[in-house]
Structure 1
Amino acid sequence: MLVVVGYVIVIFCVLGGFAFMGGHLITLWQPVEILIIGGGAIGAFVVSNPPTVLKAAGRAMAGAFKPSKITKAFYMSLMALMFEILTKVRKEGLMSIEGDVEDPEQSPLFQKYPEVLHDHHIVEFMTDYLRLMVSGNLNPMEIENLMDEELETHHQEAHAPQAAVQNMSDGLPAFGIVAAVMGVVHVMGSVGQVSNAQLGMMIAAALVGTFLGILLAYGFVGPLANVINHKISESSKPFECVKTTLLASLNGYSPALAVEFGRKVLYSTERPSFSELEEHVKSTKGK
């Protein structure tokens, strides 16, 4: 929603300011310039990225207009789930969670937290390492290195669409210049064939190309790339929370302390307090 609000502010201030100074808005409507700039930018975008990145970029741009699913309530459910899993391990042994890990969709533990269960990426990450814990004695340092490698791969994959959108933003001013130069070439070729008034309109149309390229880059596509980057940062925190909690458990800390370790890595805006998390765990354990 804020993305749309920001776009409205950009349009109102830029076009409104132009109108208030006496400019004619119809002068800015240059479909050919839009075709040159937009078509060139989209074409370069397609050329410079593989199909997987193109699809991911499309999903990322669409997701930028939606509210984030990574909220305090999500983190509370995630940490309550890990607390229950680790408590079950401490009371009944690692083999007691084998069924939960192998088929989380049918696990009563996971079913109590549908917000987490619907995020198959975080569920897969969690169950993969719980499966390793069930399989035998593991060196926490080796597990941490493996987690770091996986998170680095995840980070690179997640940032590929953001980088693609940012590159398109960086190229838009250049395509605006291309459109403007082509307009000037058209003007120069028309000297002596049209009136001075028509030449003035053609020059104005050419200059609109530079204006549109810069406006689209810094008012629309660039900010969209920044929104995608923020959402990527938000989406990586649940993985860090799971990593920290499981490593604390492997190092011998109790479930309550292990979850507290995981809580501490969260951003302050979404991090629940110790008492909030404790109350949530108590309420869900009674279900």
Structure 2
Amino acid sequence: MFGIVGIVVILVMVFGGYMAAGGKLGIILHALPFELTMIGGAAVGAFLISNDMPAIRQTLRDIGKVFKGPKWQPADYRDLLCLLFELIRLARANPVALEAQVEAPGDSAIFARYPRILADHDAVDLICDTLRAASMNYDDPHQMEEVLDKRMEAQMHHALHSSHALQTMADGLPALGIVAAVLGVIKTMAAIDQPPEVLGKMIGGALVGTFLGVFLAYGLMGPFAARVKTVVEEDGHFYQLIREVLIANLHRHPANICIEVGRQNAPHRVRPEFGALEEALRSLKQEAA
């Protein structure tokens, strides 16, 4: 929502201010299709050269994050803590039963209660791999913490690729705008024998290229890249919470303490309230009884 509002504000302020100052849109509108073809086409071509197909698809998907915002909401963090609580209790009460849950999470009755989490392969794999390793006696908290840190660092690096790709495009757009403007000047010089009013329009059209490159870079593409990065980093807290809870479990803290460690490490915006989480955990205990 705010992404759309921001784009509208940018367009209204830039072009509204230009027109309020006495500028006329005729020259811009006349030159816009040709300048946009050169600048936008070159930017898209450079993007295709710089990225493979999976990265291109990822970037196109991630542009939607500018408008949708973070994937994980406060209710998802509460559900995640409840899921981890159930799995930790099962691991300590019946390790054999836990093995069935982590080996086939798609068939797990516990995971099935949390469909949004089950649909996220990264979250499910992180939970299952860590619990599976612990069941195989690879349960040194310090070694596992190092393993999880490296895994999450690699995951975050991959998730941020689309932001880096968009920022690279933003960095190149002003230069591509200059290229388009230079071509416009070359065209103008070829018509140097034309009257001044004709030359003025041609020079104005050439300068549209410089304007468009800078405008797209700093008005749209740069903010898009920044927003994607922010959303990816916010969603990264969800996986960080998994790490905190499972490491606390390896330290053999009580299940309630493991969950509280995770709750307190969640960002304030999505952190479940203590009372509401306790009520949810109490309901789980009653169902299991």
Q: Structure 1 residues 36-45 or 273-282, which shifts more?
A: 273-282
The letter for the 2-side match of 1:168 is M
Paired positions, count:
285
Corresponding residue of 1:215: 215
State yes or no: 1:121 paired with 2:122.
yes
| Distance in 1, Cα, partners of 2:117 & 2:82 | 10
Matches within 5 A, 1:238-249: 238-249=238-249
Letter in 1 for 2:16: G
CA contact (8 A) 1:94 1:133 kept: no
8 A contact 2:70–2:232 mirrored in 1? no
For each residue in 1:92-125, what CA deviation from the matched residue of structure 2 results, as whole angstroms up to 9, or x when unmatched? 2322211111111211111111221121210111
What's the CA shift string for 1:233-276, capped at 9, x where partnerless? 02211111111101101101011100111112211111112212
What secondary structure, in the 3-state scheme, does the structure 1 residue paired with 2:129 have? Answer: helix
Corresponding residue of 2:91: 89
TM-score by length of 1: 0.95
Q: Deviations over 1:52-88 (max 9, x none)?
A: 2112111111333224321110000000110111122
| Alpha-carbon separation, structure 2, partners of 1:282 and 1:258 | 15
* Paired AA for residue 82 in structure 1: L
Return the alpha-carbon distance in structure 1 between the equivalents of residues 180 and 284 of structure 2.
Answer: 61
The answer as to 2:184 corresponding to 1:183 is yes
Say yes or no: does 1:228 pair with 2:232. Answer: no
Retained in 1: the 8 A contact 2:90–2:98? yes
**Is the alpha carbon distance of 1:96 and 1:168 closer, same or farther for their aligned partners in structure 2, counting shifts above 3 Å?**
same
Distance, in Å, in 1 between the alignment partners of 2:223 and 2:69 is: 16
Partner of 1:98: 99
The whole-number CA distance in structure 1 between the counterparts of 2:281 and 2:3 is 35
TM-score by length of 2: 0.95
1:121-157 deviation line (CA, Å, top 9, x unaligned): 1011111111111222521111111111111110111
> Which one is further off, 73-82 or 51-60?
51-60
Work out the percentage of aligned pairs sharing the same amino acid.
36
Runs of at least 5 residues in structure 2 that lack an aligned partner in the other structure: none
1:95 and 1:134 in contact (8 A); partners too:
no
- Corresponding residue SS for 1:68: coil
> 1:160-179 maps to which residues of 2 (within 5 A)?
160-179=161-180
| 2:160 counterpart SS class | helix
Q: Secondary structure at the match of 2:22?
A: coil
The residue type equivalent to 2:181 in the other structure is: A
**Runs of 4+, deviation exceeding 3 Å:** 283-287
Structure 2 match to 1:47? 49
Distance in 1 between residues matched to 2:162 and 2:138, nearest whole Å:
38
C-alpha displacement of 1:38: 0.5
| RMSD of aligned Cα (Å) | 1.4
For residues 239 and 256 of structure 2, what CA distance do their matches in structure 1 show? 18
SS at match of 1:64: helix
CA contact (8 A) 1:172 1:214 kept: yes
Deviation at 1:285, TM superposition (A): 4.8
For the 8 Å contact 2:69–2:231, the answer to whether it is kept is no
Secondary structure of 1:267's counterpart equals coil
Could you tell me which residue of structure 2 aligns to residue 20 of structure 1?
20
